[in-house]
Amino acid sequence: MYNLLKGKRGIIFGALDENSIAWKTAERVFEEGGTFVLTNSPAAMRLGSLQELASKTNSQIIAADVTLVSDLENLIEKAQLILGGKLDFVLHSIGMSVNVRKKNHYIDEDYDFTQKGWDVSALSFHKLMQTLYKKDAMNEWGSIVALSYIAAQRVFPDYNDMADNKAYLESVGRSFGYFFGKDKKVRVNTISQSPTPTRAGNGVKGFEEFISFSEKMAPLGNASAADCADYIITLFSDLTQKVTMQNLFHDGGFSNVGVSQAVLETFSKYNENSSNTR
């Protein structure tokens, strides 16, 4: 490896199991010489195997509910004590929709569920950055990254209220990124990743079809969780110090394709089969 993060310290939110982008990122940060604290909600930690990752990467775990500023304050204070100073990078890899879990259609939302999902998935990004900002917890030229999806800009019907959450998340990244950059010289970006078979992603109706369609559309194919981890490493490194307030598409080119030859061929075969059965 390249020691791109040698001497850098940070916090990684959201690792659950080996399929998680946050999990893959933690492994890559460790390989590149960075040190970090792992965190997730107490409930999520009971579902996953975070201790395995902590042992593998010589890191410590601090449980935190991202909807509670008091938990974030405690996390950030303890992380600096454990790591020995201010932070250089933070990954926000968190998303949750109760409406999706309960199979509530977008036109029939339970608004209490909507509020909870928005708080966990999107408002938490503002709460996190506001806490980091007020505590002056980031080193100059530090990097904060959150994970998004193209449903923030385009309609994917079964992505449900998570699309709204991601749109809000991206807006927070731009708006807070301005103040963090101007006042603290800290970068803030979001990554619009290909559909990725994580535990959260697999909960979305039709997710396998999402992945198949995206694979056919993207000229480079879908970006995997490991690919995304590599991209995050570049954003944490000193090689991207002037990249901020961006929503960066990491999707094999999907976001710029209107229609692909593979998709056209699929419909052509379908039309032929339909004609033959008449």
Tokens, residue 260:
């692909």
pLDDT in tens, 186-236: 999 999 999 998 766 656 667 788 899 999 999 999 999 999 999 999 999
For residue 128, the one-letter residue type is L
Out of 174-188, 208-222, 242-256, which region has the weakest mean confidence (pLDDT)?
208-222
Measured distance CA(187)–CA(129) in Å, rounded:
11
Q: Which of 197, 215, 13, 194 is nearest to 94 (CA)?
A: 13
Ramachandran sector of residue 11 (left: φ over 0; alpha: ψ -120 to 50; beta: rest): beta
DSSP 8-state code for residue 264: H
Please provide the average confidence, as pLDDT, over all residues in the chain. 94
Residue 257 annotated as part of some ligand binding site: no
Contacts of 132 (CB under 8 A, 6+ apart): 76, 87, 90, 138, 144
Cα separation, 15 vs 51, in Å, equals 10
Single pTM value for the model: 0.94
pLDDT at 14: 96
**Residue 247 identity (one-letter amino acid):** N
| Contacts of 97 by beta carbon, 8 Å cutoff, 6+ apart | 113, 117, 121, 160, 161, 162, 165, 203
- pLDDT band per the 50, 70, 90 thresholds, residue 276: low
User: Mean pLDDT over residues 245-254, rounded?
Assistant: 98
Contact 169, 146 (CB under 8 A): yes
Distance in angstroms (rounded) separating the CA atoms of residues 174 and 17: 29
Sequence-distant (6+) residues with CB within 8 A of 179 are 133
Q: Which residue has the tokens 């100073």?
A: 85
**Residue 230 known to bind ligand:** no
Instruction: Tell me: is residue 34 an annotated ligand-binding position.
Output: no
How sure is the predictor about 46, in pLDDT bands with cuts at 50, 70 and 90?
A: confident
9-276 falls under which CATH superfamily?
A: NAD(P)-binding Rossmann-like Domain (3.40.50.720)
Asked if residue 65 belongs to a known ligand binding site, the reply is yes
- Kindly give, in sequence order, each residue whose CB lies less than 8 Å from that of residue 217, ignoring residues fewer than 6 positions away: 254, 257, 259, 260, 262, 263
Residue 24 annotated as lining a ligand binding site = no
User: Does residue 33 register a pLDDT over 60?
Assistant: yes
Catalytic residue (choose from 2, 106, 149, 270): 149
Q: Where are the domains of the chain?
A: 9-276
159 flagged as catalytic? yes
Catalytic residue, candidates 2, 106, 133, 159? 159
**Would you tell me how many other CB atoms lie within 10 Å of the CB of residue 82?**
14
Q: What is the pLDDT of residues 59-80, one digit of tens each?
A: 999 999 999 999 999 999 999 9
Pull the structure tokens for residue 165: 């959450």
Contact criterion met (CB below 8 Å) for 38 and 50: yes
Tokens linked to 127: 């709460």
